[in-house]
Amino acid sequence: FIYFSLLGSASSQPMRKFRCVNLSTKQLNIRNLVSYEKQQIPTDAIMFITAGGIRICVSPNQEWVQAAIKRINERRAAK
């Protein structure tokens, strides 16, 4: 058996704990979303983070997703 240590080789890149695998098809309430992250691996996704700290992965190419990202960006800029 060969074991690979990810700790040494990935020191320059922080390891992300959360990865989107399954994407929700349900539209979320934009008002409950406080943040988002874009992901390309293992699949293209947007991970929204709710006010309660729940992470929900969705497909980035839905209209409401783009609207939610825009709204979060506007809120960040206003602070």
Write down the domain spans for the chain.
Answer: 30-78
Tens digit of pLDDT per residue, the chain (79 long)? Answer: 444 444 444 444 455 567 788 888 889 999 999 999 998 888 899 999 999 999 999 999 999 999 999 999 999 898 7
69, 36 Cβ separation under 8 angstroms? yes
Among 71, 13, 16, smallest CA distance to 38 is for 16
CATH domain 30-78 topology: OB fold (Dihydrolipoamide Acetyltransferase, E2P) (2.40.50)
**Per-residue pLDDT, 20:** 82
